[in-house]
């Protein structure tokens, strides 16, 4: 099999003119840029005789063959047949699972005028090859509208591709504002199109609990609704409120549907259940889980609340373990995110139960109490065969064994965690928070949380800090863009804030660092813009340059 494959590649290479991979002057339109690509003369033409042969043909591999068949059928009306087969046939597309392909998500795609072959180690690799093919086809494939006389072709090429990082993610906060299932699916679609493989779903917040938990119905009967919301930009004093109740939640059936939809696109959904802070919605529902006993109301302002889960109360741990048990039944992900960020210690300092816990456990202070809290939860989660992720505050007071750190307050937390042998996902706010403005002049922008994170800055971010040795850098699993939804009230604004910055995260997560080039990226973005338009995506089309950095350089 190997010898046959090598000879096919050699024959191809002889007739191929080598061009730089996806650089300026190359009209390719692939984001993320492939690890290696050579472009030749001529095309493969899809016809009504084209078959897709797949080996083995099963429910996993069929997702890719069916997707390709759909893309071709949309504008041409040709129904490509999909059948089992592992031998290339002239005029056909061959998709083969081949254990000799090295990377789990990698693929090798070759196109000649005679046919298309794809070899991948896993079904995910086949899926990514089809996303590449999709981006090489015209935007007309995105809509089920038959265009008379259209001919779909692929340029002759050899692409050997694999990701730089195993974790390539996007986050979405649905606590502050939530989005319909259909728009979450559109979000997942855009992640899949750009070979991102993780959707971090931030499901609980001070401003709303958004996931149905059968054992604790008050979480969604009460905790999912706030009376009103601060209007406009939040001020220190004298805020005005919109006077409109806001709320909602995802039922367990909806959650299952989204997890399945994502899995069909080789995307893992990681749920986040916040603790010990960001818990006011839960405490409004069950005030006995707080230090003071309440009463509380689901938060109407943004920002951090001083009331948090009581770390001295056994009921809190029983409650959270019950919640996590239901969550783990819904989400098969290896990782469960338990938050851990922004937990004020003011209530714990004054609470008899918390102080007794500190004494009984021989803890030094409230920071160690937070560490005790997270360690206990980590023990429970790992007893179920899963691993926790926490924001970088979980380093304070000592990191729980087996915890993976999401470094958001900069890279320092990630560096410290990697140096102590823990895995890290880089999400430094300065580069990866898309709740901030994307142009310096934002008069014509929807209200954002402030800040300035233009596309060029996101694109230029390298998640492997120089402070780490090569060995320590192996602990950097990857990176993620984050969308906090305080100022994202609608699906349209969600898309505007997410794109194209998400695509920059996708390229950093996938493409070898030495091959990244912002000019090339922007050119490809312009080309892909036609596809986003066909898909009806509301993306930011303004200034992609970091104008502030340029001014500072002058």
Look at residue 521 and give the partner it binds from ligand ACM, Zn ion, none, a contact being a CB closer than 5 to 8 Å depending on partner kind: none
Residue 338 in contact with Zn ion, rule: CB under 5 A:
no
Q: Which long-range contacts (CB under 8 A, 24 or more apart) does 539-542 make?
A: 539/495, 539/496, 539/498, 539/499, 539/500, 540/438, 540/439, 540/455, 540/496, 540/497, 540/499, 540/500, 540/501, 542/438, 542/439, 542/444
Binding-residue pattern over the window 299 to 338 for ligand ACM, x denoting contact by CB under 6 A: ----------------------------------------
Residues whose CB is less than 8 angstroms from the CB of residue 235 and which lie 6 or more positions away in sequence, other chains included = none
Contact 409, 392 (CB under 8 A): yes
Q: Does 467 bind ligand ACM (CB under 6 A)?
A: no
Minimum separation from the CB atom of position 417 to ligand ACM (A): 15
Q: Which residue has its beta carbon closest to ligand ACM?
A: 341
Nearest residue (CB) to Zn ion, 61 versus 370: 370
- Pick one of Zn ion, ligand ACM, none as the site partner of residue 310 (Cβ within 5 to 8 A by kind): Zn ion
Euclidean distance between CA atoms 232 and 9, whole angstroms: 59
Q: Is 434 in the site for ligand ACM (CB under 6 A)?
A: no
Q: Please, which residues have CB within 8 angstroms of residue 534's CB and are 6 or more apart in sequence?
A: 139, 140, 142, 143
Phi/psi for 240 (5° steps) reads -105, 155
Q: Which is nearer to ligand ACM, 82 or 453 (CB)?
A: 453
Phi-psi region at 402: left, alpha or beta (left = phi > 0; alpha = psi -120 to 50):
left
* Nearest distance, CB of residue 342 and ligand ACM, angstroms: 5
Query: Which range binds Zn ion by CB under 5 A, 176-184, 278-286, 345-353, 453-461?
Result: 345-353
354 binds, among ligand ACM, Zn ion, none (CB under 5 to 8 A by kind): Zn ion
* 312 interacts with Zn ion by CB under 5 A: yes
Residue 347 C-beta: closest distance to Zn ion, Å = 6
Residue nearer to Zn ion on the CB measure, 103 or 355:
355
User: Can you tell me the distance from the alpha carbon of 152 to that of 154, in angstroms, rounded to the nearest whole number?
Assistant: 7
Select from 216, 188, 43, 72 the least CA-distant residue to 130. 72
Output 195 or 501, the one with its CB closest to ligand ACM: 501
- CB nearer to ligand ACM: pick between 193 and 488: 488
Taking the C-alpha atoms of residue 161 and residue 121, their distance in angstroms, rounded to an integer, is: 12
Contact (Cβ atoms closer than 8 angstroms) between residue 204 and residue 174 = no
User: Judged by CB under 5 A, which of 230, 283, 330, 351 binds Zn ion?
Assistant: 351
Q: Give the nearer residue to ligand ACM in terms of CB position, either 408 or 431.
A: 408
- 129/120 Cα distance (integer angstroms): 8
Which among 271, 127, 270 has a CA at the least distance from the CA of 192?
127
Question: What region, left, alpha or beta, does residue 480 occupy, with left being phi > 0 and alpha being psi -120 to 50 degrees?
Answer: beta
308 binds Zn ion (CB under 5 A): no
Is residue 201 near ligand ACM by the rule CB under 6 A? no
Q: What is the footprint of Zn ion within residues 272-301 (CB under 5 A)?
A: 291
Q: Which is nearer to ligand ACM, 410 or 529 (CB)?
A: 410
Considering CB distances under 5 to 8 angstroms, the limit depending on partner class, which of ligand ACM, Zn ion, none binds residue 351?
Zn ion
Q: How far apart are CA 331 and CA 103, in angstroms?
A: 25
229 to 268: interface string for Zn ion, x by CB under 5 A: ----------------------------------------
Binding mask 387-406 for ligand ACM (x = CB under 6 A): ----x---------------
**Other C-beta atoms lying within 10 Å of the C-beta of residue 26:** 17
- Helix (H) / strand (E) element for 97: namely strand 92-97
Question: Which residues here bind Zn ion, judged by CB under 5 A?
Answer: 291, 310, 312, 351, 353-354
Question: Which residues here bind ligand ACM, judged by CB under 6 A?
Answer: 341-342, 391, 408
């Amino acid at each position: 099999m190997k010898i046959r494959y090598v000879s096919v590649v050699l024959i191809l290479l002889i007739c191929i003119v080598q061009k730089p991979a996806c650089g300026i002057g190359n009209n390719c339109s692939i984001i993320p840029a492939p690890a290696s690509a050579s472009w030749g003369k001529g095309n493969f033409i899809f016809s009504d005789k084209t078959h897709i042969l797949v080996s083995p043909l099963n429910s996993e591999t069929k997702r890719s063959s069916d997707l390709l068949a759909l893309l071709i059928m949309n504008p041409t009306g040709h129904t490509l047949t999909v059948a089992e087969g592992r031998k290339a046939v002239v005029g056909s597309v061959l998709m083969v699972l081949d254990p000799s392909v090295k990377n789990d998500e990698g693929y090798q795609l070759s196109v000649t005028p005679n046919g298309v072959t794809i070899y991948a180690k896993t079904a995910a690799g086949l899926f990514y090859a089809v996303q590449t093919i999709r981006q090489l086809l015209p935007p007309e494939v995105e809509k089920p509208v038959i265009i008379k006389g259209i001919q779909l072709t692929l340029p002759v090429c050899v692409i050997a591709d694999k990701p730089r990082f195993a974790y390539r993610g996007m986050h979405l906060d649905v606590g502050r504002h939530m989005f319909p299932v259909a728009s979450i699916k559109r979000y997942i679609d855009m992640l899949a199109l750009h070979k991102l493989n993780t959707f971090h779903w931030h499901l609980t917040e001070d401003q709303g609990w958004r996931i149905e938990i059968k054992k604790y119905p008050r979480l969604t009967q009460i905790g999912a609704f706030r009376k009103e919301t601060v209007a406009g930009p939040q001020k220190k004093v004298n805020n005005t409120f919109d006077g409109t109740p806001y709320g909602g939640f995802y039922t367990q059936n909806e959650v299952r549907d989204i997890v399945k939809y994502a899995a069909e696109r080789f995307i893992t959904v990681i749920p986040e259940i916040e603790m010990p802070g960001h818990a006011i919605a839960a405490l409004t529902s069950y005030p006995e889980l707080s230090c003071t006993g309440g009463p509380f109301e689901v938060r109407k302002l943004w920002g951090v609340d001083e009331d948090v889960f009581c770390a001295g109360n056994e009921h809190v741990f029983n409650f959270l373990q019950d919640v996590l048990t239901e969550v783990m039944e819904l989400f098969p992900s290896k990782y469960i995110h338990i938050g851990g960020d922004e937990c004020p210690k003011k209530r714990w300092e004054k609470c008899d139960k918390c102080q007794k816990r500190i004494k009984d456990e021989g803890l030094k202070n409230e920071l160690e109490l937070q560490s005790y809290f997270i360690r206990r939860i980590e023990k429970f989660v790992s007893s179920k065969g899963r691993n926790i992720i926490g924001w970088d505050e979980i380093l304070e007071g000592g990191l729980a064994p087996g915890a993976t750190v999401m470094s958001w307050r900069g890279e320092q937390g990630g560096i410290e965690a990697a140096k102590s042998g823990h895995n890290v996902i880089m999400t430094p706010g300065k580069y990866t928070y898309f709740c901030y403005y994307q142009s310096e002049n934002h008069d014509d922008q929807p209200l954002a949380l402030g800040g300035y994170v233009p596309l060029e800055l996101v694109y230029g971010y390298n998640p492997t800090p120089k402070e780490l040795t090569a060995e320590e850098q192996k602990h950097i699993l990857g990176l993620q863009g984050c969308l906090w939804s305080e100022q994202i009230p609608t699906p349209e604004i969600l898309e505007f804030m997410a794109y194209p910055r998400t695509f920059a995260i996708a390229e950093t997560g996938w493409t070898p660092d030495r091959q990244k080039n912002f000019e090339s990226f922007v050119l490809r973005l312009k080309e892909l813009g036609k596809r986003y338009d066909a898909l009806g995506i509301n993306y930011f089309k303004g200034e992609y340059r970091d104008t502030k950095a340029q001014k500072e350089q002058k």
